[in-house]
Each structure stands twice: as C-alpha cells, then as structure tokens.
Structure 1
C-alpha cells in the first residue's frame, strides 16, 4: 500500500484517507494506488468512505519526486497521466458507492474526485477551485471528471477564472450532495453511513450500476436496463430479509 494512502477496514465499510500531510496534494502514484483499492473494494465492503487527513481535502495533483523530468514528447508524456485518468475511471467503475467527506480546500484533482464521489458531504467551510490555467496548464484532466457532473457554464467559469467557490455554490453546481456545518459534519456522515449500510447489498450495488451505465444509453435501452435490474435485484434473497 502507498505510504500516503491510509486504508482501514471497519466492518463492511472501507475507510480511505488521503494522508500526505506536508501539502495535502495527491501524487500520480497515490492516484494509482487509490485506483487499485477502489476496484477491489467490493470484495470486502459495501461502501467506501473517502476523506483526507487534512486540513485540506486535496490541493491538487503533484508529480512524484524523482530524478526523471517530464517527457518532452507529447505522445510519451500522455502515458504519464494514466495514474490520474485511471483513478477517475476507478471511481466511476467501483462497484460499491464512494462517500466523500470534504473539508478545507478542494483544488484541481481534489475538485475532480469530489465530483466523482457517489454521495458527498462538504463542510460549510470547504472551498473549491480549478486552478490549472493560472499555472499555464490546460485543465482538461479535471474537466474529464466533471463534464457530466456540472453544467457547462459552471465548468468553464471555474476553469477560466480559477476563483474559489464556497460549499453552497459547489452544491448548486452539482459538485457535492450535502453541505453541513463543520461542527456537525462527523455526526451527519456517520448517520448516513449507518443508514446506507443498513440497506440490502444488492440494492446498494444495483443503484450505482444503473447510474454508471444508463446515462450513456438511449431512452429505450435505459428503460430496458432498468427493467432487467429491477427484476434481478428485487428477486435477490437479501431483498427479502427483514431489515
């Protein structure tokens, strides 16, 4: 496991903590390690709780330390970004839902993965931005995560301006699910986790599966897929137990 990624199994909940205390950044190798954990999470868990050791959720992507500079040829350099793009795919493709807990600053890569959480709780003190263009870097990595989470005008305003937005605007933009007073954040997250884990596992997995696939289908295919999942999940033995 990566030294800056803390992973703890607590019953049917997998806790993942971004744990790079010196700057709250996420390196490419951290992103790759996160992908590996998320894609196997369903083997032990019904949900993932993703948070940071803080004080910020994530201040953005950073290159791993080492003597090798970035490749000068675009075709070669493209492969260097696979750890980041792979982590986006892993968050979308994880079979169990990912619950995000957002505190402090959420920047660049942080904004991207916050948007990809299936349910997210932001402290009312949290702030969000997409700072890349201010460093003469195209923010298309982040945009590939948020393009179907936020409306077009919101994405472009954040990308062009690099301004921070507060948690309430992040909620309005579709970046997070709930905004909670900082003093109540832990209790509200714990309440939701307990509620989620009380649901039958087939329903927990089925809900995410449907929303992962259906939006890319045409109308009839989405309806047919819903009919199929409805029959599969509702006939599962776990759905017939008294919860």
Structure 2
C-alpha cells in the first residue's frame, strides 16, 4: 500500500488516514491506492473511516514528482487524471459506507472527496473551497464529484469565486452531514461509528447500494428496486438476530 496512507483494521472498521503531512495534499498515486483499497474494503469491513493526519483534511491534488513532465497532448494527458477520477468512482462504488472526518482546510480534491463520503463530520473550524480557476485551471475534476451532491448555484459560486466557506455553509450546501465543535469531534465520530457498526451488515450494505443505484433510475424502476432490496435485506438471517 502507499507509504502516505496509514491503514488500520479496527475490528469491522477500516481506518484510512491521509498522511502527506508536508502539505496535506493528495497525490495521484495516493488517490489510486485509495481506489484499490476501497474496491475490496467490504471483504474485511462494514465501514471505512477517512481522515487526515495533518492540520488540514486536504489542500488539493498534487501531481506526483518525477522526471516526466505533464503530457502536452490532450489524449495523453487525459490518462494522467485517471487516478483522481478513479478515486471518485471508487468512493461512489464502495460497497460499505465511507465516513469522513474533516478538520482544517478542505480544498479542491479535498472538497470533492468530502462530498463523496456517505456520512461526514466537519469540525466547526473547517473551511472548504474550490480554488482551481484561481490558478487558471478548469475545476471540472472537482465538479464531476460534487455535481449531484450540491445545488447548481452553490457549485458555480464556489467554482467562480474560489472563496472559502465555513462548515455551517458547507452543511447547508450538502457537503457534510454534521458540524461538531472541534473539541468534541473525535468523540462524536466514535459514537457514530459504534452506532453504525451495531447495525446488521445487510442493512449497512443495502442502504449504500440503494442510494448508489436508485438516483439514476426512473421513478418506477427506483420503486421496484426498493421493493426487491427490501425483501432481500429484511429476510437475511442477520436482520433477525437482534429483532425485537
């Protein structure tokens, strides 16, 4: 696994810590390694906890250092972005829920992956922005992650202005689930993780599966899918163990 990812298996929880502490960025290779991890997380875990070791959750995407400069031809350069786009797809497609813990600055790629977490907790001092256009870079990479997480006006305001928003506005925009005073953040995350992991595994996976698939269906298909999944999950043996 990548040296700048700290991976810990804590019972049925897979803890992943972004550990590029020199700048709190995420490199393309880190994003690719995260994708590989998420693809198999369900084999050992019921949930993934994603956080950062540094003072900031993520200050953006960092191109891996190396002797090869960025490609000048569009078709070649497009492949260089696969690690980032692949990580978005992996977060959407993960079979178990991803819980995000956001402290400090959450910028660009950080804003994207925060939005893709299934449940996320932000410190009340966390801030969020989409800075790319300020560097003459089109922010469509981030927008491909947030387009169905935030309302259109909020996305375009953040993308055009590059201004930071505070955690309460990020909550209003749909970027995070909860805003918690920083002194209580870890305790609240621990409490939620305990609650989540007490739920039957079929329900944990079924909720994620439905919200991954149903929004792309028409109304009748979404209803029929809900009926089928409801029957499958609620007849699972694990659902009956703690039933009252």
Q: Distance in 2 between matches of 1:97 and 1:216?
A: 19
Cα distance in 2 between the residues matched to 1:209 and 1:170: 25
**Ranges in structure 2 where 5+ consecutive residues have no aligned partner:** none
For residues 22 and 133 of structure 1, what CA distance do their matches in structure 2 show?
Answer: 24
Q: What corresponds to 1:51 in structure 2? A: 51
| TM norm structure 1 | 1.00
Confirm whether residue 64 of structure 1 aligns to residue 68 of structure 2: no
Q: Between Structure 1 and Structure 2, how many residues are aligned?
A: 243
Q: CA RMSD in A?
A: 0.5
Q: Deviations over 1:200-237 (max 9, x none)?
A: 00000000000000000000000000000000000000
Q: Deviations over 1:83-135 (max 9, x none)?
A: 00000000000000000000000000000000000000000000000000000
- Residue 231 of structure 1 corresponds to 231
- 1:159 Cα deviation from its structure 2 partner: 0.1
Give how far 1:188 is off: 0.3
Match of 2:143 in 1: 143
SS at match of 1:121: strand
Counterpart secondary structure, 2:231? helix
Aligned to 1:119: 119
Distance 1:68 1:130 in 2: 27
- What residue in structure 2 maps to residue 165 of structure 1? 165
* Offset, 1:242: 1.5
Whether 1:133 and 2:133 are equivalent positions in the alignment is yes
Q: Structure 1 residue 54: deviation in Å?
A: 1.5
Aligned equivalents of 2:48, 2:195: Cα separation in 1: 14
Q: Following superposition, which runs of at least 4 residues in structure 1 exceed 6 angstroms of deviation? A: none
The answer for unaligned runs of 5 or more in structure 1 is: none
- Pairwise CA distance, 1:18: 0.3
Q: 1:59, CA displacement in angstroms? A: 0.2
Aligned with 2:179: secondary structure? strand
Distance (whole Å) between structure 1 residues aligned to residue 3 and residue 190 of structure 2: 26
For residues 202 and 56 of structure 2, the distance between their equivalents in structure 1, rounded to whole angstroms, comes to 34
Instruction: Find the residue that maps to 1:2 and give its secondary structure.
Output: coil
Counterpart for residue 80 of structure 1: 80
Q: Distance in 2 between matches of 1:19 and 1:8?
A: 13
CA deviation after TM superposition for structure 1 residue 35, in Å: 0.2
